[in-house]
């Protein structure tokens, strides 16, 4: 028997579908958030510094320390999204963008694929934040970024993935 997905909610960015998962021949309803994907950018500055942002997130009613990130627009290559979001959220323009990894944000309920980039050879400029965004740059030395992780002050998963992945790579480099 075929069980087509049923749309439960549709927004400008994502939709929620109910699908049936067959387990032991029996259908079990599951809700899945369908998301177009996103990028997360690790902006590396000279003198071993990183540009983080402080971003108010209404879902958790808190200002979080994060890496810049954003949702893919329809038919937009992830590299273009990364360059655009970096400028919008921080004001920095990347001379070089390198894709590091892809990961799934929360595959138990969400199909969002996150594309991790490192941005280097940065040029400062004005940010182009969207109306209503409460974002501020927070430039820190790399060791301070790792201390923020160690102290539990960075709680955002995409930021933890980006920082810890890059830190591991740095340690392996000669």
Instruction: Looking at the structure, tell me whether residues 6 and 18 fall in a common domain.
Output: yes
Instruction: Looking at the structure, tell me whether residues 145 and 118 fall in a common domain.
Output: yes
Q: Which residues are catalytic?
A: 133
Q: How many domains does the chain have?
A: 2
Instruction: Looking at the structure, tell me whether residues 61 and 88 fall in a common domain.
Output: yes
| Residue with the two structure tokens 């591991």 | 168
In a domain, 132, yes or no: yes
In a domain, 105, yes or no: no
Instruction: Looking at the structure, tell me whether residues 82 and 130 fall in a common domain.
Output: yes
> What is the pLDDT at residue 22?
86
**3-class secondary structure, 78:** helix
Cβ 19 vs Cβ 32: under 8 Å:
yes
What residue ranges of the chain have pLDDT lower than 70?
1, 174
What pTM does this model have?
A: 0.92
In a domain, 103, yes or no: no
| Residue with the two structure tokens 């965004």 | 133
Cβ 158 vs Cβ 69: under 8 Å:
yes
How is residue 93 written in tokens?
């323009």
Phi, psi of 119 (to 5 degrees): -115, 130
Domain holding 130: CATH number?
3.90.79.10
Domain that holds residue 4: 1-34
């Amino acid at each position: 028997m075929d069980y087509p997905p049923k749309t439960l909610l549709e927004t400008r960015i994502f939709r929620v579908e109910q699908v049936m998962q067959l387990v032991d021949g029996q259908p079990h309803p599951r809700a899945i958030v369908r998301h177009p994907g996103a990028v997360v950018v690790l902006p590396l500055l000279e003198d071993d510094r990183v540009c983080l942002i402080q971003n108010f997130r209404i879902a958790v009613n808190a200002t979080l320390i994060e890496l810049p990130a954003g949702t893919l627009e329809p038919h937009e290559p992830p590299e273009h999204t990364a360059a655009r979001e970096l400028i919008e959220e921080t004001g920095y323009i990347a001379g070089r963008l390198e894709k590091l990894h892809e990961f799934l944000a929360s595959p138990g309920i969400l199909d969002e694929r996150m594309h991790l980039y490192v941005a280097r050879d940065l040029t400062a400029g004005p940010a182009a934040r969207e109306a209503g965004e409460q974002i501020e740059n927070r430039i820190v030395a790399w060791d301070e970024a790792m201390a923020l992780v160690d102290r539990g002050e960075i709680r955002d998963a995409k930021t933890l993935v980006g920082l810890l992945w890059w830190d591991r790579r740095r340690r392996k480099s000669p």
